[in-house]
């Protein structure tokens, strides 16, 4: 008798035993018999598919289920069957080795019926024929007249939630699910390519909609509402792209993701080394390329994270024209000033008279003859210092107002240009120059929107003591550096 014939005989006897079970003890024996017959039938099925018996004979029941799922079509692509069979195997183990977590009679009855239904479902594929009519009739009759097995009159014990139960099989099942793909077929290339193209399109569309929204929302109504719609489309496209990325990761799983990353890394290293003119050995050149790749990837990830965090604030600032001041550690809160409405940049065509700075020059006068004096009498003679534009030669980071030697009272409008390549933000700082102790630079405000020949912001000097100050404009790129030196202008603050 072949292995298939023996398995057929075992399953037939187990099904008859199940149909005749009328109490708890017989139902437990029926579950053990059904499990034994199904396990032997699955091993015989693998042998009929050309598998070596030495491979599957040493495999446990969960591993046997994985072999059937990965290399045969017995389950018909149903992703729920492997986990169901593993769960039924757990019930069999609890019956064979009873303990505190022994299943109740109703659970045993339900699992026995699931075993019988799965066997009837697998029968045509396991043996290449339909199940015997007499056997199926007997099973149908037994299911209709199945006696209700009463629960024992014992004190009910609290059942631990399923999610909190810990067992090595559950951990192994989770790791296998994380490592392998449970789809049928295992990897669908066309679906993967469609999802990757969709991810690129959605993220590019999200970035374009966000940029257009920030530009459009600055205009008056009703154009402002178009910017709101574009920003909502940007958020929706980004979230949709995240969902597709999650689907791709679930399709690749950890194994496929490592393969894709490994192949991409090898290709990048090969292209970089082959196109390089360096005379370094291969391993040193590969190590340098790897370092550059890690640095560039980390910077790109940092820039993307900053852009995501900053996007809502940029949109709110563009919509309302106001940003909450940021207080840095160690900074005086009196330097935090609101910024003006962020309107589109425009060039000022009118010139207004600007007060000049008067420098006090001290001259000595001789004492009258015959009058004792221990010091020279002084006379103040004011001298006008000429106004001139700030000495900022770089057109992408320069100030046009205030001018050098200008007298400032209250609030002053700061004008100029802050628009460099790879722009991130620009900031205002000031420092007092005529104090007894050398002052440090004090941060005033930062802005995240580039400006071309327009209004950069408002500087409110009312909280500052009167004196001579140096006002500074610094434009920073996304790498955290300023490619052009800061633009400084020296002014005098007075209070009337």
The average pLDDT across 289-302 equals 85
Q: What are phi and psi of 58, to 5 degrees?
A: -90, -5
Query: What is the CB neighbour count within 10 angstroms for residue 381?
Result: 11
Query: Chain centroid to CA 341: how far?
Result: 32
488 or 150: which carries more pLDDT confidence? 488
88 with 107: CB under 8 angstroms? Answer: no
Place of tokens 């082959």: 274
DSSP state of 372: -
Global confidence as pTM:
0.35
Tokens 């980390």 -> residue = 298
* pLDDT at residue 157, rounded to an integer: 45
Give CA–CA dist 233/246, Å, rounded: 20
Enclosing H/E stretch for 136: helix 133-144
Mean pLDDT to the nearest integer, 261-276: 84
- Percent pLDDT > 90 in the chain is 6
Task: Report whether 457 contacts 415 (CB < 8 A).
Answer: no
Per DSSP, 47 falls in state H
| CB-CB contact of 412 with 402 (8 Å) | yes
DSSP 8-state secondary structure symbol assigned to residue 333:
G
Out of 2.60.40.10, 3.90.25.10, 2.120.10.30, 1.10.10.60, select the CATH number for domain 347-356+385-493: 2.60.40.10
pLDDT attached to residue 142: 64
- Of the two residues 391 and 237, the one the predictor is more confident about is 237
- Looking at 21-75, list the stretches that DSSP marks H as alpha helix, in order from N- to C-terminal side: 24-48, 53-56, 61-71
Dig out the tokens for 246 from the structure.
Answer: 């999650």
Report the range of poorest mean pLDDT among 24-38, 319-333, 453-467.
319-333
Tens of pLDDT along 110-149? 888 888 888 888 888 888 888 777 777 766 766 655 544 4
* H helix and E strand count, the chain: 11, 10
Nearest alpha-carbon partner for 291 in 317, 312, 272:
272
Query: Which of these, 49, 79, 54, 52, lies nearest to 66 by C-alpha position?
Result: 79
Taking residues 297-304, what's their average pLDDT?
85
State whether residue 386 is helix, strand or coil. coil
Terminal-residue alpha carbon distance, the chain: 113
Whether the predicted pLDDT of 388 surpasses 50: yes
Q: Convert the pLDDT of each residue in 304-361 to its tens digit.
A: 888 888 888 878 877 775 444 444 444 444 434 444 434 443 433 333 444 444 444 4
Alpha carbons within 13 A on the beta-carbon side of 245: 11
Strand partners, 447: 426
CA distance 460 to 161: 63
Average pLDDT, the chain: 75
Tell me, what's the pLDDT at 344?
40
- Domain positions in the chain are 3-151+164-179, 189-319, 347-356+385-493
Cα 131–Cα 132–Cα 135 angle in degrees, nearest 5: 105
Q: What is the pLDDT of residues 465-487, one digit of tens each?
A: 888 899 999 998 887 778 888 89
Cross-strand pairs, 474? 427
CB 103 within 8 A of CB 87: no
| Candidate from 57-61, 180-184, 233-237, 366-370 with smallest mean pLDDT | 366-370
Crossing angle of the two packed helices 168-179 and 223-274, in degrees rounded to 10: 90
Residue-by-residue DSSP string for 403-418 = PBTBEE-SEEEEEEEE
What is the 8-class DSSP label of residue 388?
B
The pLDDT of 56-63, averaged and rounded, is 76
Average pLDDT over residues 287-314: 84
* Bridge partners of residue 487, in order along the sequence: 473
Question: Tokens standing for 400?
Answer: 């046009």
Residues in the chain: 496
Q: Mean pLDDT highest for which of 120-129, 236-245, 278-287, 481-490? A: 236-245
Residue 3 vs residue 93, higher pLDDT:
93
Asked if residue 289 lies in contact with residue 272, where contact means CB atoms within 8 angstroms, the answer is yes
pLDDT of residue 110: 85
Which helix (H) or strand (E) covers residue 282, if one does? helix 282-320
- Alpha carbon distance 56, 306 (integer Å): 52
d(CA 145, CA 189): 50
Cα dist. 486→288, 364, 390 in Å?
Answer: 33, 40, 11
pLDDT at position 471 is 92
Contact 270, 286 (CB under 8 A): no
- Cβ atoms 405, 418 nearer than 8 A: no
| 151-206 per-position pLDDT tens digit | 444 444 444 444 444 456 666 666 665 565 554 445 577 878 888 898 999 999 99
Q: How many CB atoms lie within 10 A of CB 203?
A: 18
pLDDT band at 208 (very low <50, low <70, confident <90, very high): very high
- Check whether 150 has a pLDDT greater than 50: no
């Amino acid at each position: 008798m072949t292995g298939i014939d023996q398995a057929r005989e075992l399953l037939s006897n187990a099904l008859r035993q199940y149909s005749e079970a009328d109490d708890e003890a017989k139902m437990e024996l029926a579950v053990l018999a059904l499990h034994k017959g199904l396990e032997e039938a699955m091993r015989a099925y693998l042998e009929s598919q050309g598998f070596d018996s030495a491979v599957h004979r040493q495999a446990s029941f969960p591993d046997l289920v994985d072999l059937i799922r990965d290399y045969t079509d017995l389950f018909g692509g149903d992703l729920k069957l492997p986990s169901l069979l593993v769960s039924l195997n757990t019930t069999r183990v609890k019956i064979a080795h009873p303990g505190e977590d022994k299943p109740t009679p109703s659970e045993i009855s339900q699992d026995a019926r699931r075993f019988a239904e799965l066997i009837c479902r697998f029968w045509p594929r396991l043996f290449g024929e339909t199940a015997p009519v007499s056997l199926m009739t007997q099973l149908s009759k037994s299911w209709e007249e199945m006696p209700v097995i009463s629960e024992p009159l014992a004190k009910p014990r609290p059942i631990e939630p399923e999610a909190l139960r810990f067992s090595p099989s559950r951990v192994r099942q989770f790791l296998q699910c994380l490592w392998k793909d449970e789809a049928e077929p295992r990897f669908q290339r066309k679906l993967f390519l469609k999802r990757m193209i969709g991810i690129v399109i959605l993220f590019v569309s999200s970035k374009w909609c966000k940029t257009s929204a920030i530009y459009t929302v600055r205009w008056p109504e009703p154009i402002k509402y178009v910017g709101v719609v574009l920003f909502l489309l940007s958020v929706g496209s980004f979230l949709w792209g995240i969902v597709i990325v999650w689907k791709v990761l679930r399709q690749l799983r950890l194994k496929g993701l490592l393969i894709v990353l490994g192949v991409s890394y090898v290709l990048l290293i090969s292209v970089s080394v082959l196109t390089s003119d360096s005379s370094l050995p291969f391993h040193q050149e590969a190590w340098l390329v790897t370092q550059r790749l890690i640095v560039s990837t980390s910077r790109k990830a940092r820039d993307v994270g900053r852009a995501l965090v900053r996007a809502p604030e940029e949109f709110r600032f563009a919509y309302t024209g106001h940003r909450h001041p940021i207080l840095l550690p160690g900074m005086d809160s009196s330097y935090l000033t609101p910024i003006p409405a962020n309107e589109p940049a425009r060039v000022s065509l009118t010139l207004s008279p600007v007060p000049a700075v008067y420098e006090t020059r001290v001259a000595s006068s001789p004492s009258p003859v015959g009058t004792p004096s221990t010091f020279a009498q002084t006379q103040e003679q004011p001298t006008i210092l000429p106004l001139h534009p700030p000495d900022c030669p770089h057109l992408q980071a320069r100030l046009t107002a205030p001018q050098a030697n200008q007298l400032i009272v209250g609030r002053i409008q700061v004008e100029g240009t802050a628009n460099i390549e790879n722009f991130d933000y620009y900031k205002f700082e000031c420092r007092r120059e005529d104090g007894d102790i050398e002052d440090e630079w004090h941060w005033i405000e930062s802005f995240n929107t580039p400006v071309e020949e327009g209004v950069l912001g408002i500087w409110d000097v009312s909280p500052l003591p009167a004196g001579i100050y140096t006002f500074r404009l610094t434009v920073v790129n996304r790498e955290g550096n300023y490619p052009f030196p800061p633009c400084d202008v020296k002014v005098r603050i007075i209070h009337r």
